[in-house]
Structure 1
Amino acid sequence: MSVLPADPHLPVAHLRPPRNWVNDPNGLTFHDGYYHVFFQYNPYGAEHANMHWGHFRSADLLTWEELPVALTPTPGGDDADGCFSGNAVSDNDRMIAFYSAHRTDNWAQPVTTAESRDNGRTWTPRGSLLITDLPEGVTMYRDPYVWREGGRWRMLVGSALADGRAAALLYESPDLEHWQYQGPFLDRAPQPLAPGADTGLGWECPQYLHTPDGRGALILSAWDPQLGPRRTVVYPGLEQEGRFHAAAPALFDHGPDFYAPALLPAPDGRWLLWGWSWEARDQQWAKEAGWAGLLTLPREVTLGEDGSVRQQPTAELLSLRGERALTACGETTGTAVLGTVGASFDLTARLQRNSPATAGGLRLVTSPDGSEYLDIRFDPATAELVVDREHASLDPRAHGGTYRIPCFEEGADFGAAIELRLVVDRSVAELYLPSGRTLTLRFYPTGAHPWRIEAHAGREGLIGYTVAAWNLRPDTMRHEAEGSAQSALI
Structure 2
Amino acid sequence: MQASARVVGGPVLGSLPGLHRAASLEVETPFKHPRSSCRAKGSGDGHPRVVSGTDGCPLLVQKYTFFGVKCEGGRSARQQRSVRSPFSVSASVAEPPVKEALGFDAPLPAPELLSVFDSPSPFVVTSPEYPTLSTDDNHRPTYHFQPPAGFMNDPNGPAFIGGQYHIFYQHNPARAAWNWGVCWGHAVSSDLVHWEHRPLALTPTPGGYDQDGVFSGCCVNNDGIPTLLYTGVQVATPDRPVNVTSVSQLLGAAFSEVQCMATLGPDGKFSKGLAPVISTPPAGLDIVGFRDPYVWREGNEWMMLLGSGIKEQGGTALLYKSPDLHKWEFVQPIHIGDHTETGTMWECPILLKLGKWHILSVSPDNPANPILYWIGSFSNGTFVPYGAPRRLDLGNVCYAPNSCIDGKGRQLVWSWIQEVRSEEASVAAGYAGCLTLPRVLSMLDDGRLIQEPVEEMKLLRDRHLVHETDFALRSARPRTFNVHTGTLEIEVEIERGGADAVGIDIRETPTEDEVLESECGPEGCGLEATRAQRVLRTDPHEGVLVSYDYKKQWLEVAWWQPGPDAGTDSPGELVSKGGPLTLDEGENLKLRVFLDRSVVEVFANSRAVLTTRMYRNVIGAALIAKGGDAVVKQVDMWQMGSMWDPQLKDSPLVPQLKDNPYVSI
Q: What is the SS of the residue equivalent to 1:17? A: coil
Note if 1:123 corresponds to 2:270: yes
* Aligned mates of 2:269, 2:459 — CA distance in 1: 31
Note if 1:269 corresponds to 2:440: no
- 1:42 matched residue in structure 2: 172
Note if 1:428 corresponds to 2:595: no
The correspondence of residues 420-459 of structure 1 with structure 2, limited to 5 A, is 420-446=591-617, 451-458=619-626
Native 8 Å contact 1:231 1:259 kept in 2:
yes
- Supply the AA of the counterpart residue of 1:455: L
> In structure 2, do the counterparts of structure 1 residues 131 and 392 end up closer, same or farther at CA, with 3 Å as the change threshold?
closer
* Aligned mates of 2:453, 2:155 — CA distance in 1: 17
* Aligned mates of 1:429, 1:262 — CA distance in 2: 20
- Two-structure CA RMSD over aligned residues (Å): 2.3
The correspondence of residues 48-87 of structure 1 with structure 2, limited to 5 A, is 48-49=178-179, 50-87=181-218
- Structure 1 alignment gaps of length 5 or more: 192-197, 480-490
Q: Aligned-pair distance for 1:90?
A: 1.3
- Supply the AA of the counterpart residue of 1:339: N
- 1:113 matched residue in structure 2: 261
* Aligned mates of 2:577, 2:613 — CA distance in 1: 12
> In structure 2, do the counterparts of structure 1 residues 272 and 182 end up closer, same or farther at CA, with 3 Å as the change threshold?
same
Q: What is the SS of the residue equivalent to 1:319? A: helix
Note if 1:239 corresponds to 2:386: no
The correspondence of residues 70-469 of structure 1 with structure 2, limited to 5 A, is 70-105=201-236, 106=244, 107=246, 109-118=257-266, 121-135=268-282, 136-190=285-339, 198-211=341-354, 215-224=357-366, 229-247=368-386, 248-329=388-469, 330-331=471-472, 332-333=474-475, 334-355=477-498, 358-366=500-508, 371-390=541-560, 395-396=569-570, 400-409=574-583, 412-413=584-585, 416-446=587-617, 451-458=619-626, 460-465=627-632, 466-469=634-637
Q: What is the SS of the residue equivalent to 2:277? A: coil
Q: Aligned-pair distance for 1:472?
A: 0.6
* Aligned mates of 1:84, 1:146 — CA distance in 2: 15
Q: What is the SS of the residue equivalent to 1:381? A: coil
TM-score w.r.t. structure 2 length?
Answer: 0.65
Native 8 Å contact 2:503 2:546 kept in 1:
yes
Q: Aligned-pair distance for 1:367?
A: 6.5
* Aligned mates of 1:69, 1:324 — CA distance in 2: 37
- Supply the AA of the counterpart residue of 1:378: Y
Instruction: Could you list the structure 1 runs, at least 4 aligned residues long, displaced by more than 4 angstroms after superposition.
Output: 367-371, 391-394, 397-400
- Supply the AA of the counterpart residue of 1:7: D
> In structure 2, do the counterparts of structure 1 residues 344 and 241 end up closer, same or farther at CA, with 3 Å as the change threshold?
same
Native 8 Å contact 1:280 1:398 kept in 2:
no
Q: What is the SS of the residue equivalent to 2:156? A: strand
Q: Aligned-pair distance for 1:189?
A: 0.8
* Aligned mates of 2:483, 2:607 — CA distance in 1: 27
- 2:148 matched residue in structure 1: 18
* Aligned mates of 1:101, 1:81 — CA distance in 2: 8
Q: Aligned-pair distance for 1:362?
A: 1.3
Q: Aligned-pair distance for 1:375?
A: 0.6
* Aligned mates of 1:143, 1:249 — CA distance in 2: 21
* Aligned mates of 2:460, 2:266 — CA distance in 1: 30
Q: Aligned-pair distance for 1:381?
A: 3.4
Deviations, residues 27-65 of structure 1 (Å, cap 9, x unaligned): 111223211100000010001113100001112223321
* Aligned mates of 1:353, 1:220 — CA distance in 2: 35
Deviations, residues 276-301 of structure 1 (Å, cap 9, x unaligned): 00001122111110110001111111
- Supply the AA of the counterpart residue of 1:202: M
Q: Aligned-pair distance for 1:161?
A: 0.7
Q: What is the SS of the residue equivalent to 2:557? A: strand
Native 8 Å contact 1:271 1:301 kept in 2:
yes
Native 8 Å contact 2:158 2:168 kept in 1:
yes
* Aligned mates of 1:72, 1:277 — CA distance in 2: 23
- Supply the AA of the counterpart residue of 1:471: Q
Greater share of strand residues, 1 or 2? 1
* Aligned mates of 2:292, 2:493 — CA distance in 1: 40
Deviations, residues 406-465 of structure 1 (Å, cap 9, x unaligned): 2324xx23x643211101111111111124211111111136xxx22112222x422322
Native 8 Å contact 1:346 1:470 kept in 2:
yes
> In structure 2, do the counterparts of structure 1 residues 179 and 477 end up closer, same or farther at CA, with 3 Å as the change threshold?
same
Native 8 Å contact 2:581 2:607 kept in 1:
no
- Structure 2 alignment gaps of length 5 or more: 1-132, 237-243, 247-255, 516-540, 647-665
* Aligned mates of 1:184, 1:297 — CA distance in 2: 31
| Structure ranking higher on relative contact order (CA contacts 8 Å, 6+ apart) | 1
Q: Aligned-pair distance for 1:400?
A: 4.4
Native 8 Å contact 2:290 2:308 kept in 1:
yes
* Aligned mates of 1:405, 1:30 — CA distance in 2: 33
Identity rate, percent: 31
Deviations, residues 366-402 of structure 1 (Å, cap 9, x unaligned): 3768743211122233111221013799833666410
> In structure 2, do the counterparts of structure 1 residues 345 and 139 end up closer, same or farther at CA, with 3 Å as the change threshold?
same
Q: What is the SS of the residue equivalent to 1:389? A: strand
> In structure 2, do the counterparts of structure 1 residues 392 and 281 end up closer, same or farther at CA, with 3 Å as the change threshold?
closer
